[in-house]
Structure 1
Amino acid sequence: MLQENIDKEIKTAMLAKDNVRLRGLRAIKAAILLAKTEKGGSDTLTEDAEIKVLQRLAKQRKESAEIYKTQNREDLYQIEAEELEVIEGFLPKQLSREDVIAVVQDVISRTGATSVKDMGKVMGAANKELSGKADGKTISEVVKELLS
């Protein structure tokens, strides 16, 4: 279970006085606790739900880092980049663009999609198959490319 793993990692980071890692781990723990207490939440999260929480955190950090970079706020950019690195350490390995293309091509052939009009059908199946393995933006770009 992710939360138990995070708790152990927090203790290790505290003992090592690794403040950078500790900050990232605490962000993950807070997000997990928040997800558990949201409406309709239960005491335990499924592995898929945990991955979605981590993906949301990673996406937030990437977007913030980009904003800070464009505003020449290197200090804030560095914090976001460090936290992103810690969060990505708990995410499953992301597929390369070539692997995503291969999976999407398979989905297109199975669904019989022929044009951009079928994008919704392909996106639904591709998102299910690639859940946690690729981000939605990449999947969407590949689907558009292949259906155009």
Structure 2
Amino acid sequence: MSETTLKDTLHSDLTTAIKARDELRSATLRMVLTAVKSEEVAGKTAKMLSDAEVMTVLQREAKKRAEAAEAFAGAGRAESAEREKAELGVIETYLPAPLSDEELAELVDEAVLAASAEGLTGMGAMGAVMSQLKPTIGARADGKRLSAAVRARLNN
């Protein structure tokens, strides 16, 4: 028996949403699966995406929805903003729980201590700390939030 991949889960959930006549969920999952398929055929050769790569696509789609909702709200298009937020809610069910500020600060502190043990201090350690944290944190915090936390810690 083979393991179920994230992509298989998305397909299965799409089928369930269609049968339940859940328009929002089925439309959102179709968009996500289209983005996954586009990613698979991008480049010179087609490839199957790993769960981690599918998770990256999900993160990108979630970020697009959040930015679009903000833009629509700013333009006074509340109905469109609500639709984007609803789509974001569907996508977020597939993403891991985000790190709390305390958890993020703790991970950043550990990485900064490790970098200082290697002789890297101040803003010169930024790249080393970020490259150490990225794989650990993965989809649980976006890059902007992570870099802000690292920058704040290194400036202290």
User: Which interval holds the TM-score relative to the shorter structure?
Assistant: over 0.9
| Kept in 1: contact 2:112–2:125 (CA 8 A) | no
Matches within 5 A, 1:72-111: 72-111=76-115
Alpha-carbon distance between aligned partners in 2 of 1:14 and 1:40, rounded to the nearest angstrom? 33
Structure 1 segments of 4+ aligned residues over 2 angstroms from their partners: 40-43
Where does residue 55 of structure 1 map in the other structure?
59
Aligned-residue Cα RMSD (Å) equals: 1.3
Q: How many residues align?
A: 148
Q: Deviations over 1:25-67 (max 9, x none)?
A: 1111111111110115543211211111011001111111111
Q: Secondary structure of 1:145's match?
A: helix
The alignment-based identity, stated in percent, is 30
Amino acid at match of 1:130: I
Q: 1:77 to 1:139 in 2, by over 3 A?
A: same
Does 2:77 match 1:70?
no
Does 2:24 match 1:17?
no
Where does residue 114 of structure 1 map in the other structure?
121
Where does residue 143 of structure 1 map in the other structure?
150
Where does residue 132 of structure 2 map in the other structure?
125
Amino acid at match of 1:132: A
Amino acid at match of 1:121: A
Where does residue 10 of structure 2 map in the other structure?
6
Alpha-carbon distance between aligned partners in 2 of 1:133 and 1:144, rounded to the nearest angstrom? 18
Alpha-carbon distance between aligned partners in 1 of 2:72 and 2:124, rounded to the nearest angstrom? 37
Alpha-carbon distance between aligned partners in 1 of 2:51 and 2:98, rounded to the nearest angstrom? 16
After TM superposition, the score normalised by the length of structure 2 is 0.89
Amino acid at match of 1:141: A
Alpha-carbon distance between aligned partners in 2 of 1:71 and 1:78, rounded to the nearest angstrom? 13
